[in-house]
Homo-oligomer: A and B are copies of this chain.
Amino acid sequence: MHISHTHQASRLQLNAQGHLRHFLTTEGLSRELLTEILDRAESFLIRDGRVRHEPVLAGCTVMNLFFEASTRTRTTFEVAAKRLSADVLNIDISTSSTSKGETLRDMLWNLQAMTADIFVVRHNRSGAAHFIAEQVTPGVAVINAGDGQHAHPTQAMLDMLTMRRHAGSIHNLKVAIVGDIKHSRVARAEIHALQTLGARAIHLIAPRTLMPVGLDQMGVQIFDRMEDGLRDVDVIVCLRIQNERMESALLPSAEEFFSLYGLTPERLRLARPGALVMHPGPINRGVEIASSVADGSQSVILQQVNYGIAVRMAVLSMAIQGQREQKQ
């Protein structure tokens, strides 16, 4: 029997009862499960951008394994875990024993013997979180905080929560994703989540050098001009342009990118009135987005950051419960 990669991932992510036990990718997860994540996240939100403090992870040890530096993402996971009353340890990989010749597998086994309950993993290689989830013993949960160009599932889910809270429902939304689709783990995770949650249309807008091949088979529509792709959309997600792309000549210059793909007030008017403006951050003002749009009334960029705490709390608490359920 042939088991597709998607089925393998789902099997690894879910316990025997079909509940989340790792969170590696949005791919292959059911609409019910994604909705459960959003509902759980919403239960942690209180007014004024505050989040509840809950003892769900009291007595648990969360280890942040960041093989790739990311203060922003690490901080959101650290805040989320502490809000759930966990003990949080940031393991600095560059100074750890891997520099003494220890293999990744040995390092993991050792950290897990130090009574880790959850590993939050960021790695520059696609599939790293997957590999780690296959190595850990039952009872230990793995959360993917971004692996190479593969997936960044908590970012995708915080975007879904933002759309649901500000547009009412994801069902029937028309969403444009603009920018470096090719190198974006955010875009990939987002497309899966949007399709599962019933978005009506997904427009991908990018210069040809930044658009991967084969995406039209995923049921998305591809555009290379903003003027075509933005028409009547309900949500615009701008992706971050990495400076490396300019240096590697995949992109001419920041100025030229902005002139062709920057989200300006004029272009924003092509979208549905009141369309949401989103960005995973950190934003490059005047490159992907005009300052007036980033700070304007349609921007929900800072809400995304805020909901990111609640989504990470949801995923951490669901995974630990999925692990406990399986152990019984």
Contacts and interface: CB of A to CB of B under 8 A. Distances in A.
Interface of A: 48-51, 53, 58-59, 61, 69, 71-72, 75-76, 78-79, 82-83, 87, 89, 91-92, 95-97, 100-103, 106-107, 109-111, 113-115, 139, 243, 281-285, 302-303, 305-306, 308-309, 327
B53 A72 contact: no
A91 B110 contact: no
Contacts of A308: 114
A103 B283 CA distance: 9
9 contacts: A48-B139, A53-B58, A61-B83, A69-B95, A75-B114, A101-B282, A102-B281, A106-B285, A110-B282
A69 B69 CA distance: 19
Contacts of A283: 102, 106
Given A49-B115, A79-B87, A89-B78, A109 B302 contact: yes
Given A69-B95, A72-B110, A114-B309, 12 more contacts: A61-B79, A75-B111, A79-B89, A82-B87, A83-B115, A102-B282, A106-B282, A107-B282, A113-B302, A114-B305, A114-B306, A114-B308
Given A79-B89, A110-B302, A115 B72 contact: no
A265 B306 CA distance: 55
In this complex, the member of A48, A71, A109, A308 whose beta carbon has the largest number of chain B beta carbons within 10 angstroms is: A71
Contacts of A69: 95
A89 B114 contact: no
A111 to B, nearest CB: 7
Contacts of A89: 75, 78-79
Contacts of A96: 71-72
A251 to B, nearest CB: 15
A324 to B, nearest CB: 11
A306 B97 contact: no
A49 B96 CA distance: 23
Contacts of A87: 79, 82-83
A89 B76 CA distance: 10
Given A82-B87, A102-B282, A113 B305 contact: yes
A114 B78 CA distance: 10
Given A282-B101, A285-B103, A302-B109, A115 B50 contact: yes
9 tightest A-B CB contacts, nearest first? A113-B305, A71-B96, A102-B282, A53-B59, A82-B87, A97-B282, A113-B306, A113-B302, A110-B305
A69 B76 CA distance: 23
A61 B80 CA distance: 11
A105 to B, nearest CB: 10
B79 A114 contact: yes
Nearest to A82: B87
